[in-house]
Amino acid sequence: MPIPHPLPEPLVELVAQRFRLIGEPMRIRLLDRLRYEEQSVGELAEALGASQQNVSKHLTSLHQAGIAGRRKDGNRVVYSIADESIFALCEIVCGGLQSQLTELAQLLDAPAAPPTSARSRENPA
């Protein structure tokens, strides 16, 4: 189904909400940790050096938005990725940043143009 343009206002709000949700660095770290395997709050907290309360708060937000899934495993709850499309967005952003950094590095590595003195600009040869 094609996406209408200009975007309808309710869709604009939903997209903005999704960007706000993943705009938190801890949530990006959590998603990255959950990319290849499900983990519990305790495992994630230990791996990220964060409190279980903080990790749990962010996982709850990701779960409510349908990005993370959770299930009971004995006496613990394990989280996983429910919406894999979130990684496509992350890859696009990372790719864009990588391109910008490459361009910046090339600019910094380029030989500098010799400075022109005020006298040479006033009296061209």
Concatenating the DSSP letter of every residue in 32-62 gives HHHSSS-EEHHHHHHHHT--HHHHHHHHHHH
d(CA 101, CA 67): 29
Q: Walk along the chain (125 residues) and give the pLDDT tens digit of each residue.
A: 899 999 999 999 999 999 999 999 999 999 999 999 999 999 999 999 999 999 999 999 999 999 999 999 999 999 999 999 999 988 888 888 888 999 989 999 988 777 666 555 556 55
**Single-letter amino acid code for the residue at 17:** Q
Q: Where are the alpha helices (DSSP H) in the chain?
A: 9-22, 25-34, 41-48, 52-64, 85-109, 118-122
Cα–Cα dist 13/20, whole Å: 10
The CATH classification of domain 9-83, taken from the options 1.10.1040.10, 2.40.50.1040, 3.30.360.10, 1.10.10.10: 1.10.10.10
